[in-house]
Structure 1
């Protein structure tokens, strides 16, 4: 066992509890059993670490078992999600299990919530109370955002003045951005809280990536971002706002994971959705931006 793998084994068991990652009972070299933490799943997976790990990624061999009360198909679902998570977070030379576990916890939670909502909506259809929608539905999501469809609107205060982008869909993942003017970090936090509390589809999404930039009094300025589990995405959003010289604005990009990993392409989709929201809000003159690019290129 390499020193890095030994350190990671100790760290994972310290964070999530003894026995989370343990050697396999069989004689397979460098094979371990990972018990996914949390109350939302009881699946365990078999992992194999190549001698060169972390210069080479771990191999997810398959499921080890699923609890007696696990929902049918949950183990296969968790296996697929964990493989996707490893593919998304692994970087050569860097241990990856903690990041993969955290990502798959969020994915399982999002999928579980979506399945529950689908079951509830299907019951509504059977009772003749409305049409069934999927875990993401652009028309319904927009309507909920505009009307505070998640409930509790009076307690949260008025609806933030969001401007929404068009949905961007690739390999069944959906991205929607919304931006709003803000005058303080406290207001930006309040707007995000309102969004998550009032829109159940946004609340159940895989990621809600946030960035904001604010000019304060006496020449001060404030800017910050939040990846919400999508590593480095918040920083890229903030960099986009810096390049576009946007101030007194916040943006939230919501992603519903579609079951297939997008790799680095996801960052282009996140920034593309944000840019579309900025343009629709009138913060960016698209023609001037394109003209500026031509002049800069000398054409």
Structure 2
């Protein structure tokens, strides 16, 4: 398989690896969240950037594998990017944790995320996010990293101790998934109440979309009034990562039960035209009673009109996967 990777393709792979690495640093590199990122092969990164600057004719074999690790509590995921990644080879993943069964479970979660990303696609963001969610769930189940048990990991970490309302208000805490393979967020009753959302509210978190170092991600929820839309934004901004996004764009569309009146609005959060496009998409899709937030972390490269396509695609995918819109049967 490696023989099929031409110099041109190797150059493209390097560029995609560096873009993904810089997106990871943008999202995780501040060290304030549950996950901490460390580049364990900095020289390989330097050589890769030099090879990209030199272009065709570079010696790609001398670059070496870009490697990094992500730690959450007592668990660590090790990630290596082979030269044929992502076009012809998957990521190489390994894991360490404080018990064999926990290690096996977390590694399985990360590998599953790479498989779901599909062949030829960048999957480090997805693998690391899935690992971080699962590791945090295991740690929180029994009150902290040192107390994390095998049984909590085997259960996928769903549930977890509820945060006290005062602590939740004072500290922005990462939002995590309900369990491995899930896309619904695990939200405590206290967080829902503090955000002004009903106790039955469920929030869907879509996969990350990466383009030239920018990251896009959508969140969707059923809504029955304007207050639900505002509540979802408040809830998401409790998450350190979402709060640091360059833009958190929102649109909602609600059909009032008592008279059938359609209520819709949007918030572009500084990305002029994005919210209006999201609102228009909800109308075109015929979506009733839903709110969507699309977060974007700007990676330093202007995407032009392409960014609106990404925002629309994330919006559509989140609505479909959350069951808030179903394609009409043929």
TM-score normalised by the chain length of structure 1: 0.50
TM-score normalised by the chain length of structure 2: 0.45
When Rg is computed on C-alpha atoms for both structures, the one with the higher figure is: 1
